[in-house]
């Protein structure tokens, strides 16, 4: 990278611009959530909170749970925000903020996403949990990073029905860290997430504009598999987290509370209860790291 002031922007305190954090606050494990209000829903279980920062949609709490130093940060919605969070945290770890030079010795951390999602498989009930070993990105983020993404197998794409192939064209694959998958996966359904650039048309919701993802395509998506793993859910961050983390040498895993089932048309009657149960499950498993 070059040392231009516009490559990696710092604020008046010398912290990275969007997150308003500096390197000494970065913990070995970073929990990401979408909703800024969910940060405190996670950190209330910490034994101690040492630091709170808030700038725009990015709220960070850093503290301790037993012997584990943790941080939880809200990304807001979408892989565009994930691009900011992953890159700024990596910069704090691996770039000298004074010289703007990449450090000779780089460091890595764990990203654990606790998300909410909508299933498009009829056998996945609301309030259940999904862990994503893979995520298929339709959001386009990784096409701006040369040679740092994995494309789905061309033969697989060509085998799809033309209307489904059109929906899933120009995609990329993000992979979970296998070690973290083994820690956080037990008790959860395995499935491939489709990471979308929007909530309505991009996920087949039909309001005034309609959607290219018809109800028939929704039904067909749950019949697809890749590497023997079924496609299960829509969300808006996982593929970006996986691809950026893997490219930069970090570990990542994404787990989701299923609040809606698009095929059965059901939505959770107690979404906060489902999210709270997932948070407790994740924090218990962090103790195993």
Q: Quote the pLDDT of residue 28.
A: 97
Q: Quote the pLDDT of residue 289.
A: 84
Q: Which pLDDT tens digit goes with each residue over 144-159?
A: 998 767 889 989 999 9
Residue 231, pLDDT above cutoff 90: yes
Q: State the SS3 of the chain.
A: CCCCCCCCCECCCCCECCCCCCHHHCCCEEEEECCCCHHHHHHCCCCEEEEEEEECCEEEEEEEECCEEEEEEECCCCHHHHHHHHHHHHHHHHEECCCCEECCCCCCCEEEEEEEEEECCCCCCCCCEEECCEEEECCCHHHHCCCCCECCCHHHHHCCCHHHHHHHCCCEEEECCHHHHHHHCCCCEECEEEECCCCCHHHCCCCCCCCCCCHHHHHHHCCCEECCEEEEEEECCHHHHHHHHHHHCCEEEEEEEEEEECCCCEECCCHHHHHHHHHHHHHHHHCCC
Query: Lowest-pLDDT range, 107-111, 216-220, 253-257?
Result: 216-220
Cβ–Cβ under 8 Å, residues 139 and 172: no
Q: φ, ψ for residue 255 (rounded to 5)?
A: -125, 150
Residues 128-136: what's their mean pLDDT? Answer: 98
Q: What's the pLDDT band for 2 if we cut at 50, 70, 90? A: low
Q: Quote the pLDDT of residue 110.
A: 98
Q: Which pLDDT tens digit goes with each residue over 18-32?
A: 999 999 999 999 999
Domains, the chain, ranges and CATH? 23-286 (3.40.50.1580)
Q: End-to-end CA distance of the chain, in Å?
A: 33
Q: Which pLDDT tens digit goes with each residue over 86-102?
A: 999 999 999 999 888 99
pTM of this prediction exceeds 0.75: yes
């Amino acid at each position: 990278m070059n040392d231009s002031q516009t490559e990696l922007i710092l604020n008046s305190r010398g912290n990275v611009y969007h997150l308003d954090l500096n390197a000494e606050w970065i913990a070995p494990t970073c929990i990401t959530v979408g909703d800024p209000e969910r940060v405190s829903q996670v950190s209330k279980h910490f034994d101690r909170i040492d630091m709170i920062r808030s700038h725009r949609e990015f709220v960070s709490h850093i503290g301790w749970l037993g012997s584990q130093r943790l941080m939880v940060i809200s990304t807001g919605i979408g892989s565009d925000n994930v691009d900011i969070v992953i890159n700024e945290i990596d910069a704090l770890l691996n770039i000298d903020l004074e010289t703007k030079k990449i450090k000779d010795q780089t460091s890595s951390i764990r990203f654990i996403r606790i998300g909410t999602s909508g299933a498009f498989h009829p056998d996945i009930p609301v309030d259940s949990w999904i862990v994503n070993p893979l995520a298929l990105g339709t959001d386009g983020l990784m096409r701006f990073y040369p040679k740092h993404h994995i494309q789905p197998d061309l033969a697989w794409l060509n085998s799809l029905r033309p209307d489904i192939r059109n929906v899933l064209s120009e995609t990329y694959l993000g992979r979970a860290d296998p070690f973290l998958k083994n820690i956080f996966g037990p008790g959860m359904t395995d499935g491939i997430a489709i990471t979308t650039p929007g909530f309505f048309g991009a996920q087949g919701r039909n309001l005034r504009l309609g959607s290219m993802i018809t109800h028939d395509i929704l039904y067909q998506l749950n019949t697809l598999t890749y590497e023997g793993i079924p496609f299960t859910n829509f969300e808006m961050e996982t593929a970006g987290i996986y691809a950026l983390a893997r490219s930069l040498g970090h570990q990542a895993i994404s787990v989701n509370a299923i609040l809606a089932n698009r095929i059965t048309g059901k939505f959770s009657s107690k979404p906060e209860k489902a999210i709270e149960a997932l948070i407790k499950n994740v924090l218990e498993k962090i103790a195993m790291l």
